[in-house]
A = this chain, B = another copy of it.
Amino acid sequence: MASPGSGFWSFGSEDGSGDPENPGTARAWCQVAQKFTGGIGNKLCALLYGDSEKPAESGGTVPPRAATRKVACTCDQKPCSCPKPDVNYAFLHATDLLPACDGERHTLAFLQEVMNILLQYVVKSFDRTTKVIDFHYPNELLQEYNWELADQPQNLEEILTNCQTTLKYAIKTGHPRYFNQLSTGLDMVGLAADWLTSTANTNMFTYEIAPVFVLLEYVTLKKMREIVGWPGGSGDGIFSPGGAISNMYAMLIARYKMFPEVKEKGMAAVPRLIAFTSEHSHFSLKKGAAALGIGTDSVILIKCDERGKMIPSDLERRILEVKQKGFVPFLVSATAGTTVYGAFDPLLAVADICRKYKIWMHVDAAWGGGLLMSQKHKWKLSGVERANSVTWNPHKMMGVPLQCSALLVREEGLMQSCNQMHASYLFQQDKHYDLSYDTGDKALQCGRHVDVFKLWLMWRAKGTTGFEAHIDKCLELAEYLYNIIKNREGYEMVFDGKPQHTNVCFWYVPPSLRTLEDNEERMSRLSKVAPVIKARMMEQGTTMVSYQPLGDKVNFFRMVISNPAATHQDIDFLIEEIERLGQDL
């Protein structure tokens, strides 16, 4: 385990150089530096190795930056003409950086140094010979580095070490073998856009302080509404901090549309409201209902078929039941891409029912929305154009860096009237520009992070066709996985048939369980298989995939593919790895 100050070396130990004091790491770093254009790599290496462009064979015992300085000055002529590093971070503090007088030089050098650390991490993230994670238990991690906050400042050398240590223990979410969540991968243009967003460091509430980003949100949301199928991209929308909040916003707006007095009078002034969603839907619907004062008991879970799709006849039956009791159905949230099975509710049938009973139709397409970009797969969301609101998270299937979640609303102006409070210190009515671009009163948030730029820039860089290719490839990989394991010994599918999304749900049955009868003992033993394999995966850092129980089904693996770096070989690797780690169970 690395001690403070040696984090940089620890990076290197992953790729075989082993001993943290081995100069092989400096060499590896130099190889990275060599990727720079225009001879900059040589300069960087020269700095590392005392102006010799080849790694010195004799090892140092200190991290490269410090080593640089020592090696660069081993000559015995003082003063000498050896190149000397201009910056010694151990003597510098944050107060030496901009806006300090003459802080430019140190600032540029420091930020470039940080950037070198980040670039190295990026390159390693895509390298299959590195670990997905260097896993440590919480108590280990708390003890093995000093993370505490103190009265006195650290110097910039220590700050750089903090950065390296943080990345050393981070999950490489861009690694080709990271499949753990719906959001995986690391898009280079998206990353660049997020760096720019950080640098611009502003807030979405008014055009005044975020002119470009507000316009890009306008352009991007309109495009997304066009793709959903609303005529001319008309309607409204906002980027919110995640799908759960987007779903809650939809519920809030649906309630307001039916009973606008709820804004002033609260739930006491309205009849009992009931929301409907499938038993496979995301838990955020219940969270939202609890928060909005509707209560989780008023969220009715509609039965699903074997594939996890909402059964429309059950929806209609429950609506009638509720109406008979005198309650008011106000929202149906259909899911386009359920979290575990990747199921698409039958949106056209749901839309018919919503129209019949005059209920707000929301589509939670947080996970499945990306498929709208694909000519081949968008039929799975047929009927989404009839929704009143849609949650669509580009940070999932479209590979946009976290966070990027859109709520789209068909009726314009409703978000504003539902949420506005007319704060005069932000939304002055006598400003000199068109106030419709001050979007801050559309949402519950006051300050709002700029989430649009990374999506917009990725879209410019990939084109709609680029997103389509990415999505088609991920779905093809899921089918590839399905085809391999459906008849393979030791595997059982959780549900039959080709995956509709990239979710492939299966049990791995170790040899010792294969001959057991299908009884409670077998179920009990099977339920322990996935957690143990997963723990071993993490401890060895080779790959990561999720598992969970669902209903009466004991722990099974849920493989999802949104990672643009994944290939057929990575799918093969996953299978081999599950078998390697699970065969003795």
Tell me whether A395 is interfacial, beta carbon within 8 Å: yes
In angstroms, how far is the closest chain B Cβ from the Cβ of A362? 16
Q: Quick check: B156 and A180 within 8 Å, CB to CB?
A: no
Q: Quick check: B122 and A98 within 8 Å, CB to CB?
A: yes
Q: Quick check: B200 and A167 within 8 Å, CB to CB?
A: yes
Q: Quick check: B35 and A44 within 8 Å, CB to CB?
A: no
In angstroms, how far is the closest chain B Cβ from the Cβ of A134? 9
Most buried by B among A150, A159, A169, A287: A287
Tell me whether A434 is interfacial, beta carbon within 8 Å: yes
20 A-B residue pairings within 8 Å (CB atoms): A32-B108, A97-B189, A110-B188, A117-B196, A138-B433, A139-B434, A149-B223, A149-B464, A158-B460, A159-B192, A166-B200, A170-B200, A241-B449, A242-B449, A244-B445, A267-B268, A284-B444, A292-B292, A405-B447, A430-B555
Across the interface, A565 reaches (CB within 8 A) one of B99, B166, B167, B423, namely B99
Chain B residues lying within 8 Å of A139, measured Cβ to Cβ, are 434
In angstroms, how far is the closest chain B Cβ from the Cβ of A117? 8
Q: Apart from A38-B43, A241-B445, what 7 extra A-B contacts exist at CB < 8 Å?
A: A35-B108, A153-B466, A154-B461, A163-B192, A242-B449, A266-B293, A395-B447
Tell me whether A208 is interfacial, beta carbon within 8 Å: yes
Assembly CA distance A464 to B37 (angstroms): 41
Assembly CA distance A5 to B212 (angstroms): 17
Q: Quick check: B456 and A173 within 8 Å, CB to CB?
A: no
Q: Quick check: B242 and A263 within 8 Å, CB to CB?
A: no
Q: Quick check: A188 and B268 within 8 Å, CB to CB?
A: no
Q: Quick check: B43 and A189 within 8 Å, CB to CB?
A: no
Assembly CA distance A262 to B296 (angstroms): 9
Chain B residues lying within 8 Å of A444, measured Cβ to Cβ, are 244-245, 248, 284, 287-288, 291
Assembly CA distance A564 to B95 (angstroms): 11
Assembly CA distance A484 to B405 (angstroms): 47
Q: Quick check: B171 and A202 within 8 Å, CB to CB?
A: yes
Chain B residues lying within 8 Å of A188, measured Cβ to Cβ, are 94, 97-98, 107, 110-111
Q: Quick check: A122 and B421 within 8 Å, CB to CB?
A: no
Q: Quick check: B242 and A432 within 8 Å, CB to CB?
A: no
Tell me whether A50 is interfacial, beta carbon within 8 Å: no
Assembly CA distance A319 to B327 (angstroms): 33
Q: Quick check: A446 and B244 within 8 Å, CB to CB?
A: yes
Tell me whether A340 is interfacial, beta carbon within 8 Å: yes
Across the interface, A461 reaches (CB within 8 A) one of B151, B153, B456, B555, namely B153
CB nearest neighbor in B for A214: B138
In angstroms, how far is the closest chain B Cβ from the Cβ of A128? 10
Q: Quick check: B538 and A85 within 8 Å, CB to CB?
A: no
Q: Quick check: B219 and A148 within 8 Å, CB to CB?
A: yes
Tell me whether A547 is interfacial, beta carbon within 8 Å: yes
**Residues 203-216 of chain A, each 1 if its beta carbon lies under 8 Å from chain B, else 0:** 10001111111111
Q: Quick check: A203 and B402 within 8 Å, CB to CB?
A: yes
Tell me whether A27 is interfacial, beta carbon within 8 Å: no
